Amino acid sequence: MPNITLPDGKKLSFDEKVTGKQIVEKISKSLAKEALIMSVDGNLKDLSFEIEKDSKVKILTSKDDDGLDTIRHDTAHILAMAVQELFPGTQVTIGPTIENGFYYDFARKEPFTESDLKKIETKMSEIVDRNETTYREVWERDKAITHFKKMGENYKAEIIQDIPKGEEISIYFHGKWHDLCRGPHLPSTGRIGKHFKLTKVAGAYWRGDSKNEMLQRIYGTSWASKKDLEDYLKRLEEAEKRDHRKLGKEMNLFHFREESPGAVFWHEKGWNLFQKLVNYMRKKQQVAGYKEINTPEILDRSLWEKSGHWEKFGTHMYTSQTPDEKIFAVKPMNCPGCVQVFNQGLKSYRDLPLKMSEFGKVHRYEPSGALHGLLRVRAFTQDDAHIFCTEDQITEQSLSITNLILEIYKDLGFENVILKYSDRPDLRVGSDAVWDKSEKALLEAVKETKLDYSINKGEGAFYGPKIEFVLRDAIGRDWQCGTLQVDLNLPERLGASYVEKDGSKKVPVMLHRALFGSLERFIGILIENYSGKLPFWICPLQTVVIPVSDEFDEYSKKVNKQLIDAGFSSEVDLKNHNLNYKIRDHSLSKVPILLICGKKEVDSNSVTIRRLDSNKQENIELKKFITIHQALNKAPSL
RNA sequence: GCCCUUGUAGCUCAGCUGGUAGAGCAAUUGAUUUGUAAUCAAUAGGUCCGCGGUUCGAAUCCGUGCGGGGGCACCA
């Protein structure tokens, strides 16, 4: 005789066990139409689930996250049904929901093509129209394994084998088609609607392990309404428009070419942007007490052997052989070089903490499939620093690094930052005692920041635990940028030491830290975050002076020179094109301010300014323009 | 690295089932002298990614290498 409590506190009582369907019919007809699944005492269940004891029940529709998620899950099932109807012999594996959609991995010899996706979508619509009823059965483990093996579904059989003993093995049926699944599911296939789309085919390793065979994954998206689907596809299109590879080309910032995959050819404007960022960081680091150094790009193999890189990182390192057959490695990290600078001359405890920064260009032989524009390259510049300190200083130094990083992100318009803390990986150097100590100190610093953080087990660097700084951009994407790593191994390996108060020698602790991480990656992120419309102070081309006709070329040149002298990145456009053409041209290349010069301006020693994305005209005295904009020509915090 | 896909002018792209390439923009030259998002005309521009094969004939078909894109794995 279950008593059912609804979210609004209302109670319904029944004489015998009751299903969600029966409950919802009692609540309202309109809700009955919308109902997809239900939550019973916090557990998601099918509407056909029979409730036997007193429970709190919430009926879920497509407006609830869990409801929408179930729609996606059902769409994945229907995808698998459709594929097996169209391509008999295809094995199903897993088909979970993901952000905004779902995927399903299949095992089949022949590849799926883009045109197959269309066919599959049509078949899926048919299945929705058939409105097959969903029902659930619980099977014995052995029966399930034998059954799926007999069907030729070896992957499913393997999955069932791995389900922990004692857990129910539930099989969901949509008509005749059935799949092992935890559920819950919608009452029938008609309920998912037709607001879905298959988006891409891709390879994916069975169980996510590159040692296993590769399956074929079909990705799709599914929504509660046609409008939601359209909005989502629009969002994808918008994101594509901000792609830094497209904008980089349009804005003439950089390019890539076959001779050096994953390495950037910076053009004048891109390099100007790059230098502006570097100069900005130099200033910030000076204020924070860093000393900038620079170390060689190519170092003898023996140093990398001593540091441990040769062994742990060798497959990612470029090496070079000299004519006399010596082997040098191109640095993949700056740390060994920096330790050698520390090692030069005697250091005292009074020198600590010693903060040495370096804009070091490193090379890493990344797997070809990992490369992605500026965001994943093989040659990049780190805004690196190494802080030599005592164990007692780790937490305090970590905090000051964190503050510096947050300040810098804020200057560039990123205020939404989360931390990821990673501890010891399987492949590592150093004793467990040393790891214990460094993990503890770093975690303490993480907690001190009071920022949100997550813990990633086993994802630390091979030489120490780390914090990663993840920032969220204008369209909600997360990017890992800054990093802070404790290193209790390398200083010892390379024989670093300082003289203690009592005259004894001690090995310092080293903190590795990068602010943006890679300048290249950060520039990619910046471009996408701002859709190319960068903040004025880092804009590689801030102003373009445009004469109304060639009669005013001389005046325009004079204006341009004054702007350059005043520290702006400026150009004058003397091409034989009309004003409209030039405004369009420079607007498309995202120049923030255009200065138009004609008779009126010459007469009053002024300029008429037009800002990007505005057609307002504003006449202003040149001197005044310069004063106002000079104040804007630096980072907010400087 | 693995799976799928792709590579034509500086850029964006067209070129059906094999018959030695075409547009728009950009560039150059000339005309035009322009007041807030494309002035007009002419000219020039290609080892159709490289290599090999099939064929009387290959941008087109096949093989292979390299690069790009989407994923997977990787992100030390």
pLDDT tens-digit series, residues A166-202 = 888 999 999 999 999 988 999 899 999 999 999 999 9
- A161-A163-A165 Cα angle (round to 5): 100
Q: Take residue A528 and report the two structure tokens written for it.
A: 């996408």
Q: Take residue A607 and report the two structure tokens written for it.
A: 């300029």
Would you give the DSSP letter of residue A90?
P
Any idea which nucleotide's C1' is nearest the CA of A369?
B1
pLDDT (tens digit per residue) in A262-310: 999 999 999 999 999 999 999 999 999 999 999 999 999 999 999 999 9
Task: Name residue A51's beta-bridge partners.
Answer: A18
Q: Take residue A603 and report the two structure tokens written for it.
A: 């007469």
- The gap between A115 CA and B14 C1' (Å) is 22
- The gap between A597 CA and B56 C1' (Å) is 66
**pLDDT the model gives residue A605:** 97
Would you give the DSSP letter of residue A351?
G
- Confidence at A449, pLDDT banded by 50, 70, 90: confident
Asked if residue A374 lies in contact with residue A244, where contact means CB atoms within 8 angstroms, the answer is yes
- Phi-psi domain of A131 (left: phi exceeds 0; alpha: psi -120 through 50; beta: other): left
- The gap between A239 CA and B60 C1' (Å) is 34
Q: Which residue has the tokens 């596809």?
A: A233
pLDDT at A33 over 90: no
Question: Which residue of the set A105, A384, A423, A573 is catalytic?
Answer: A384
- Confidence at A445, pLDDT banded by 50, 70, 90: confident
pLDDT at A480 over 80: yes
The Cα–Cα gap between A146 and A449 comes to 55
Question: Which residue of the set A216, A285, A382, A542 is catalytic?
Answer: A382
Question: Of A276, A523, A514, which is closest to residue A375 (Cα–Cα)?
Answer: A523
Any idea which nucleotide's C1' is nearest the CA of A463?
B76
pLDDT at A1 over 80: no
Question: Of A609, A512, A511, A523, which is closest to residue A559 (Cα–Cα)?
Answer: A609
Using CB atoms within 10 Å of the CB of residue A538, give its burial: 0 to 12 exposed, 13 to 18 middle, 19+ buried.
Answer: buried
Asked if residue A190 lies in contact with residue A128, where contact means CB atoms within 8 angstroms, the answer is yes
Asked if residue A101 lies in contact with residue A221, where contact means CB atoms within 8 angstroms, the answer is yes
The Cα–Cα gap between A464 and A196 comes to 45
The nucleotides of chain B lying under 7 Å from a protein CB are: 1-5, 7, 11-12, 26-27, 30-39, 66-76
Asked if residue A293 lies in contact with residue A344, where contact means CB atoms within 8 angstroms, the answer is no
Q: CA dihedral in degrees (A606, A611, A616, A618; nearest 10)? A: -20
**pLDDT the model gives residue A428:** 81
Asked if residue A401 lies in contact with residue A387, where contact means CB atoms within 8 angstroms, the answer is yes
Asked if residue A46 lies in contact with residue A187, where contact means CB atoms within 8 angstroms, the answer is yes
Please say if A275 is a catalytic residue. no
**pLDDT the model gives residue A508:** 95
- The gap between A498 CA and B1 C1' (Å) is 44
Does residue A48 sit in helix, strand or coil? Answer: coil
The model scores a pTM over 0.90: yes
Asked if residue A34 lies in contact with residue A61, where contact means CB atoms within 8 angstroms, the answer is yes
Question: Which residue of the set A364, A513, A586, A629 is catalytic?
Answer: A364
- A193-A199-A200 Cα angle (round to 5): 140
At A444, phi and psi to the nearest 5? -60, -45
pLDDT (tens digit per residue) in A103-141: 999 999 888 987 889 899 999 999 999 999 999 999 999
Residues 98-157 of A with CB under 7 A from strand B: 111, 113-114
Q: In the sheet where A509-518 sits, what is the strand order? A: A291-292, A354-363, A379-389, A509-518, A478-487, A466-472, A417-422, A453-456
User: Would you give the end-to-end CA distance of chain A in angstroms?
Assistant: 71
Asked if residue A133 lies in contact with residue A21, where contact means CB atoms within 8 angstroms, the answer is no
Q: Exposed e or buried b for every residue in A612-634, given b needs 16+ CB within 10 A?
A: beeeeeeebebeebbeebeeebe
Would you give the DSSP letter of residue A325?
-
| Residue with CA nearest C1' of nucleotide B73 | A210
Determine if strand B comes within 7 Å of the CB of A557: no
Please say if A363 is a catalytic residue. no
Please say if A466 is a catalytic residue. yes
Residues 406-435 of A with CB under 7 A from strand B: none
**pLDDT the model gives residue A431:** 80
Overall average pLDDT of the A471-489 stretch: 87
**pLDDT the model gives residue A606:** 97
pLDDT at A429 over 80: no
The Cα–Cα gap between A17 and A13 comes to 10
Task: Name residue A464's beta-bridge partners.
Answer: A461
Residues 6+ apart with CB under 8 A from A75: A102, A124, A192, A196, A220, A222
Please say if A597 is a catalytic residue. no
pLDDT at A379 over 90: yes
- The gap between A459 CA and B69 C1' (Å) is 29
Q: What is the mean pLDDT of chain A?
A: 93
Would you give the DSSP letter of residue A151?
T
Identify whether A2 is preceded by a cis peptide bond (ω within 30 of 0).
no
Q: Exposed e or buried b for every residue in A169-193, given b needs 16+ CB within 10 A?
A: bbbbebeebbbbbebbbbbbbebbb
At A563, phi and psi to the nearest 5? -65, -45
At A82, phi and psi to the nearest 5? -60, -45
Q: Which residue has the tokens 């520390």?
A: A342
pLDDT at A160 over 90: yes
Asked if residue A94 lies in contact with residue A103, where contact means CB atoms within 8 angstroms, the answer is no
Q: Which residue has the tokens 């989360």?
A: A418
Residues 6+ apart with CB under 8 A from A397: A353, A387, A389, A511
Asked if residue A475 lies in contact with residue A238, where contact means CB atoms within 8 angstroms, the answer is yes
Beta strand spans in A109-188 (E): 134-139, 169-174, 177-180
Q: How many CB atoms lie within 10 A of CB A56?
A: 14
Residues 602-631 of A with CB under 7 A from strand B: 608, 610, 612-613, 615, 617, 619
Alpha-carbon separation of residue A285 from A291, A467, A476, A601 (angstroms): 8, 20, 29, 42
Please say if A393 is a catalytic residue. no
Determine if strand B comes within 7 Å of the CB of A578: yes
Please say if A457 is a catalytic residue. no
The Cα–Cα gap between A226 and A473 comes to 27
pLDDT (tens digit per residue) in A492-515: 999 999 999 999 999 999 999 999
**pLDDT the model gives residue A115:** 80
Please say if A267 is a catalytic residue. no
- Confidence at A611, pLDDT banded by 50, 70, 90: very high
Question: Which residue of the set A309, A363, A466, A521 is catalytic?
Answer: A466
Question: Which residue of the set A285, A331, A335, A338 is catalytic?
Answer: A335
Any idea which nucleotide's C1' is nearest the CA of A210?
B73
ipTM entry: 0.94
Would you give the DSSP letter of residue A554?
H
- Confidence at A481, pLDDT banded by 50, 70, 90: very high
**pLDDT the model gives residue A114:** 79
Question: Of A307, A380, A370, which is closest to residue A340 (Cα–Cα)?
Answer: A307
Q: Exposed e or buried b for every residue in A286-318, given b needs 16+ CB within 10 A?
A: eeeebeebebeeebebebbebbbbbebbeeebb
Half-sphere exposure of A67 (CA within 13 A, CB side): 17
The Cα–Cα gap between A38 and A70 comes to 11
**pLDDT the model gives residue A517:** 93
